[in-house]
A = this chain, B = another copy of it.
Amino acid sequence: MSSQRATAFVPGHVTALFSAHPDDDPAVAGSRGAGVTLTDGVAVRVLAVDAGETAAGDGGSATSGTEAATADADAGVTTIDGEPGSIGAVDDVLAELGVAADVAVETDLPIGAGFGVSGAAALGTALAANDAFGRGRSENELVRIAHAAEVGRGTGLGDVVAQARGGIPIRLEPGAPGVGELDGVPATARVEYVTFGELSTERVLGGDTATLSAAGEDALDRLRADPRLPTLMNAARTFACEADLLVPEVAEAIAAVEAAGGEAAMAMLGRTAFALDTGLSDAGYDPEVCRVDAAGARLVDD
């Protein structure tokens, strides 16, 4: 087994509008829609379990990673911001690549709030584990593995392919590389966001998605006819209303941004409002600030 380590960065992704397209084959399942990838994202460090130290222990913030690794050395340890944790899609990616590794997931993004953290963790694990263990998979293969793991766990449908691409992805056809099809809105922007709490992706995607998907298809048609940022934000607001997903705090924030002359929408699926430029600041909020991430998921130097 290799003693190497590797680290990947995967941007956060806020979905602005979508339709759900389930399928028994997780590489075929996915979503149509559009969203924005963010320079705020997820760093994933992978280290072989027999390489003499844990990936988490090296970051200095994990206190129990080493003991846990000793207790169950074969399986490896996953930490999330230094705390032992578990992400199903990460486990599935490691199993698919046939490796046992310690995985340290570090993010400033709120979890369960519509930023695609689980998809980012899965994709970052795929990229970093492939590199650390010299698995020799191509980028499309790694995206496919992460997408299938995320869909299989029911934690997302379109984040992984969007996060792999970067920019402002339009998901023309659902599914992994070789099945799905992507385009993009050619734009860059400062992005602000505020989060009011979690929303269960599994519960929404596990329920009746017919109304939601009809609204998503309409919104996507509008965007494809005019692939510009203001149209994306406008279509996203209409979608959130028609899909009956808007929650009061987010609705209030969006209205406040609009009243201040800005553009905001809801991040699907989270109690999160995001805005272009200084939209939320102008409306009196104290938002997190980042930008559109041009690059998408990538290996980075340790």
Contacts and interface: CB of A to CB of B under 8 A. Distances in A.
Given A139-B185, A186-B299, A188-B299, 11 more contacts: A134-B228, A136-B226, A138-B170, A138-B183, A138-B184, A138-B185, A139-B184, A139-B227, A167-B298, A188-B301, A294-B295
A187 B299 contact: yes
Interface of A: 127, 130-131, 134, 136-140, 142, 166-167, 170, 177, 183-188, 224, 226-228, 294-296, 298-301
Contacts of A299: 186-188
A224 B188 CA distance: 33
Given A166-B295, A295-B294, A299-B188, A136 B227 contact: yes
Contacts of A228: 134, 136
Interface of A (DSSP majority class): loop
A274 B140 CA distance: 25
- The count of identical subunits is 2
A55 to B, nearest CB: 18
Contact of A183 (B140, B166, B186): B140
Given A294-B295, A295-B295, A298-B167, A184 B227 contact: no
A184 B227 CA distance: 26
A126 B177 CA distance: 26
